[in-house]
A and B are shown apart, each in its own frame.
Chain A
Amino acid sequence: MVDKLNDDIGEEKRLQLWEMMLKLRLVEKKAYDLFLQNLIKGTSHLALGQEAIAGAFGVALKQGDYTFCTYRGHAHTLARGSSIEGVLGELMGRQCGLMKGKGGSMHLTDVEKGVMGSYAIIGAHLTIANGTALASKYNKTNEVSVCFFGDGTTNIGAFHEALNMAKIWNLPIVFVCENNLYMEYTPIHEVTAVEHPAADRAGAYDLDKIIVDGNDADEMLRTAEKAISKAREGKGPSLIEAKTYRHSGHSRADPGKYRPDEEVKDWMENKDPIKNYRAKLLDFNINEKIISEIEEKVKDQVEKATEISMASPIPEIKEIYTDVWANGGSEWHN
């Protein structure tokens, strides 16, 4: 049941979140299609089913805030406002890509939008996100840094080093653990000493234990806004554990067969954040026509961006030798 009289989010923000999540979903689906057509090479880690987390933060963050994500980062990049053709173009290795084909799927970066990189070595970016947060504190500005990572990250050393440092220096940062229940191919509970891989560790760093249904977009938005405000007010770091589920396998090569059929079915049918949010919008008496118009608009945007990406030229070979150094080149001797 929804409480329409005490609605703290409101129609405008809900529709913004709806559009955002749809964009993340449809671009990931498009990425999958382009893989099947062999237009995207290499690997890719889709966030299908996890859209409410990146989407909520995308709505809650301000321009100038910093985000860091993992190799499963297409959604988090788009959520900051990066162009769809910038993302799909990068996946396809085209000149219109965010990094003109130099980084690929696992390293999406768009500094202008605050996307400070996607990191493919587990744990590293938690420590790096502390650095942008430290810079905000050092410069006495009020940007917030947000760092997304998976449940598997909670078992690597950098996670613990980063949380300790963020706490002792009271950094303006939000750590977001997307617990999709599987560390790559292995159930996270089989390889972790505690039940809640992030939240049960929070106490060790004098942080609050925060667990949220990462597939409930409204709850996710409330949690994100609260943690971001806390950081922005100089009240220090937060660690959020958001429970969610991948609709697809770990990466392109993984059909995800290690997960019980019933479990997958339950998450896909009963806990899909997008399906459930559409129903919630209707519960809040939002006109279905408006909802559908947004759907059509996003579909259209994705199709147009796909066309732009496919028409974009491939990089020039000389690009191999550019941008190792700040002078634009790669020379290492005179």
Chain B
Amino acid sequence: MAQLTYRSSVSLAIAQSMRKDQKVFFIGEDVGAAGGVFKATVGLLEEFGKERVMDAPISEQAILGAAMGAAMTGLRPIAEIMFSDFLAVCWDIVANQIAKTRYMSDGQINIPLVIRTANGGGSKFGAQHSQSLENWSMMIPGLKVVAPSCPSDVLGLMDSAVKDPDPVIFYEHKSLYAFKEEIEQTDISIPIGEANTLHEGKDITIIGLALMAQRAKEAALILKDKHDINAKVIDLRSLVPLDLQTIKKSVIETGHVLTVEENPRLCGWGAEISSLISEHCFKNLKGPVTRVTTPHVPLPSADILEDNTIPSVELIVNEVIKKLKGE
């Protein structure tokens, strides 16, 4: 039994994959000698050397292009984009090249790579270093989208992501890097596409991802203790592939659904989930699906502004009460 932070589970997960497979290498800005700007890759350079842990220039297109080309030959690169916001400067490589090349080549080319990136708000970094961008990548056919909410999921999902024959974008939440968990076994594997239940309940289904899944769990504990509401909290873990069966099963039981998203409202992933639920579970619904999101604004920086933009535990609690009790 060891206590691991989300941060240290990232470097451990990468190290475990690199120990198991010589084809795995790691590339990114400040990832080696500096150990990463979030210190999530400390020790990798020392263990694996410069040939397998490569400090790259500030050239996001060149980083992802090199990772893609290497993956095309059968290597299994892990590439870091320091902040997910920087995906915007290499979006051509992600959306046009990495995502589409397998299809366009009629399956001649596989691209087994992992792009890991620090995502999400809570650090008061302002609108260009805080975004929650899972939905950007979710809408591109050919990309798998993973967002772990706890250290054990980082370990298990990273193992699967590196072994996956398809490209995976691995969104690590900045506000979870200090999150701790007691872990028995570190060398674990969690299949991509299986949601996790963080709290059991039959009154309402709350669906979240990454930090929002943890906040939904905290909200569920309060709802149970103080309001006699039993909420089922589903941590999606991945948006693509999506565990629709777990969602359906719960919605059939509860009839009430709340999605909690960190992204701005328009075209957030909750909209797709809501659409799927209305398509597959319409007769089971006791009311409309409620989406809790950030308002449709860029993320502001000041404490009070950011804190009131990103969905909080309190907001989730209130929305559930409003929904179930009409208060």
Contacts and interface: CB of A to CB of B under 8 A. Distances in A.
B29 to A, nearest CB: 12
Nearest to A162: B62
30 contacts: A99-B106, A102-B103, A109-B106, A110-B108, A111-B105, A116-B72, A116-B109, A119-B97, A126-B65, A127-B61, A127-B64, A127-B65, A129-B65, A129-B69, A130-B65, A131-B69, A131-B71, A131-B73, A132-B69, A133-B69, A139-B73, A157-B61, A161-B57, A162-B65, A165-B57, A324-B102, A324-B103, A325-B142, A326-B112, A326-B165
Residue from B59, B65, B69, B96 with most neighbouring chain A CB atoms (10 Å) = B69
Interface of B: 25, 51, 54, 56-57, 59, 61-62, 64-75, 92-93, 96-97, 101-110, 112, 141-142, 165-166, 193, 240-245, 276
Which residue, B56, B93, B245, has most C-beta atoms of chain A within 10 A?
B93
Interface string A101-113: 0110001011110
Contact of A117 (B25, B105, B245): B105
B100 to A, nearest CB: 9
Contacts of B68: 127-128, 131
A34 interface: no
A102 B107 CA distance: 10
Given A162-B62, A164-B62, A334-B245, A99 B69 contact: no
Given A117-B109, A133-B69, A332-B242, A127 B104 contact: no
Contacts of B97: 119, 121, 124-125, 128
Contacts, number: 161
A325 B102 contact: yes
A139 B107 CA distance: 24
B109 A165 contact: no
Nearest to A133: B69
Given A131-B68, A333-B243, A334-B241, 18 more contacts: A99-B106, A103-B104, A103-B105, A109-B104, A116-B69, A130-B65, A132-B70, A135-B74, A158-B61, A158-B65, A164-B59, A165-B57, A165-B66, A323-B103, A326-B166, A328-B107, A332-B241, A334-B244
